[in-house]
Structure formats: structure tokens, C-alpha cells
Structure 1
């Protein structure tokens, strides 16, 4: 078929050619639009992650500072001028630690919320994650501490420092840039090995606290993480 015949055929079926061309253009445009939409969604998700990561990092900085001040307070408690000064300083630190736990729930929701505390408000169902446990154990240690007598200030400081180290380690895991899921799931979907290790460490700190401070009423014992066990 010659070129002139081909052109003649195209002119005869011009409407078909236009329709096919329009369909191809529409198909290419739809593909480009879909690709751009996905790209924009990825950018929006990343901006959201960065915003929440910045907020959780700010929370973590306050927690590190509060635990550091609590440890120093324990280490220097015998230098307080009198019992009233000691009580005032301790109360201020306790208020700060308690507030940090409550604010931390915005970033680190309770684990296994469907299996415990169905009668409680939503934020308090399930088990606190280890990162908040660490702050709570430091809170209880500080609350039980006296200006004179009992475990030495240095021992209390060492315990609070161990709580701080666990908190920092968990915060670092939470902020790991390789995790691509949304923030809540990102913490909840840590590798099972890391989760078991963190829970074991938090439980060990709790046991030490109970030994150090007999009679303290702490949370009910943590139920076994059946999901972790099944994935061993």
C-alpha cells in the first residue's frame, strides 16, 4: 500500500483516528495524573511524619531533661536545706514526670488495648508501652524517696538513670527514619525481638522497684505478649 493510499484511508476514517488519538491522550493523562497523585500523597505523608516526629522528639527532650533532674535530685537530696525544701523540690519533679507520661500517650498508645481494661477510658486500656513504663518507675522511686534514711541517694539516682536509658532507647527506636508506617503503628510494629527485650527490661526495673520499695502498689502484672510468643 502506497503512502497516498494510506493517507486516503486515514482521511476516510478521520473520526476513528481522532477517537483513537483522544483515547491515547486520555490514557496517558490519566496515568500521569495517577502518578502525580501518588507522589503528592507520599509527600503529604512524609510531611505529617516529620511533623509528628518533631513533636515526639520535643516530648522526648523534655523527658530526658526531667529524668536527669530527678536523678540529680536523688543524688543530692542530703544537701537540701530542710524537709520542706526537699518536699517542694520532689513535688515539682513528680508533677513534671506525671505530665510527661500523660503527654506521652499522644505518641505511644497502650499495647494490647483490646485485652485489658475494657472498663477504662480509651487512652488507659491495655498496657503502657515500655517507654512510658520507664518514666512511671522513676516516678514511683522518686515518690518513695525521703531526705534521710532508706536507700542512699546514689542508689536512687542509678535506678532513675537506668529508667532514663530505657526511655531513650525506645525513643530512638520510635524515631527510626527507616520505619515507613504511620506513627502509632510504627511504634507498635517494632520487631518482635526488640519488643520482647524492651518489655523484659521494663519488667526487670519494676521488679527492682518492688524490691527496693516494699508495699508500693504498682500496676497489675503484665500479661504475656501472646503475639510475640507465637512469632518466636
Structure 2
């Protein structure tokens, strides 16, 4: 009888261990499922944002192309104001998906969402916003020249959005943008810098942050 009791105890212990392992495996499976659902939700929201951004930049380029033939200055001003509002809104909405890079190195006196360096995908919208803001109905760069610059900004945005949603990197959930392969991130920053330089050449009166993303700078705490 004593042996039977021992066997029962051992079997019960084994069953308890197996049950715990099964429960742990199920918990892990549920966690992975919730993580995947969250990832899909984030991807869906960022894709919706990206689609709106692409359409907004395309409309801004069309505004640049057609501004000389608009019926009146008032019509142009209203169209430009709408474009600027849409671009400005998209920039801040985009911060939910593409947080600033190196937030501990720059802009420490700013609000949290604005500390660090903008991601290149948001730079594309900022540069386009500045170009639209500088547009006049007559004068300045030609319609096609302004539109081509905005189109270049749109191409940068599309490339960065595609990289963000790359299915080969589905295992990265949070912080995917900041954990891109360094070469890709460096290339994107370089393209954004080239667009910024072109914008400053076109619009010399603009004041744009010249801090280098790669060189730490001393900051004053707020």
C-alpha cells in the first residue's frame, strides 16, 4: 500500500508539472496572438495614415502645378490653406507611428513628442509643407519645379512607409522604425537631408533646424 501511495504521489506530481507546462504554453500562445493582433492593428492604422499622406502630397503637387491658372487669389489662398492644414495634421498624427530618433540627444527642452530628431518619413511632409507655404499664385519657382519637389517628398514617404510595413520584419512590433537596418536609416536620413538642402536653396528665407542627427550636442534641461 505504501508503494501505491508513493506511485500516486509521483503520478500526481508529474500530472501537475505537465499541467503547468501546458498552461504556460497556452499563455505564451495567447500572448503571441495578442501581440500579432496588436501588430496588425498598428500596421492598419499606419497604413491608413500613409494612404492619406500620399493623397495629400499628390494634391499639394497638383496645387503647385495649377496655381497659375486658378480663378482668383482667394481661390488659391483657400486651396493653399487647406493643403497646409492637412499636411500639418498629418505630421503630428504621424508622430504616433514614427517617434523622433535619439530623443535623449536633442530638444530636451521641448515637449516629449518633439524631443529628438524627426524621422525622415515625417521630414518629407515638413519639407512639402514649407514648399506649399512659400507658394504664391504668381512668381517664384515654376509650377512644374515646385510640383517636382513635392513629388520627390512623396517618393521618400512612400519608400519609408514600405520599409516600415515590410513583412520580412513582422517580428518587430514596437520601435520597428527606430530599429531599421542602420544602412537603410542612414540612406533615408541622407535623402531627407538632400531634400532639405534643396528646399533651402529654393527658399533661402526659411529657418530650419540644422542640428546633425549623428553628432551629439549639449542640451539645456528645461
Return the TM-score normalized by structure 2. 0.94
C-alpha change, 1:32 and 1:225, in structure 2 (3 Å) is farther
C-alpha distance in structure 2 between counterparts of 1:151 and 1:112, whole Å: 35
Report matched runs for 1:80-91 at 5 Å: 80-91=70-81
After TM superposition, give the deviation of residue 225 of structure 1 in Å.
5.9
C-alpha distance in structure 2 between counterparts of 1:221 and 1:209, whole Å: 16
After TM superposition, give the deviation of residue 79 of structure 1 in Å.
1.2
> Whose radius of gyration is greater, 1 or 2?
1
Specify the alignment match of 1:181 in structure 2: 172
RMSD of the alignment, in Å?
1.1
Specify the alignment match of 2:219 in structure 1: none
Q: Which runs of 5+ in 2 are unaligned?
A: 217-222
Specify the alignment match of 2:98 in structure 1: 108
Specify the alignment match of 2:220 in structure 1: none
After TM superposition, give the deviation of residue 219 of structure 1 in Å.
2.1
Specify the alignment match of 2:123 in structure 1: 133
After TM superposition, give the deviation of residue 217 of structure 1 in Å.
1.0
State the secondary structure of the residue aligned to 2:167.
coil
Q: Of 41, 44, 54, which residue of structure 2 is paired with 1:54?
A: 44
After TM superposition, give the deviation of residue 222 of structure 1 in Å.
2.7
State the secondary structure of the residue aligned to 2:176.
helix
Q: Which runs of 5+ in 1 are unaligned?
A: 1-10, 227-232
Q: Using CA pairs below 8 Å that are at least 6 residues apart, which structure has the higher relative contact order? A: 2
C-alpha distance in structure 2 between counterparts of 1:223 and 1:96, whole Å: 27
C-alpha distance in structure 1 between counterparts of 2:203 and 2:31, whole Å: 51
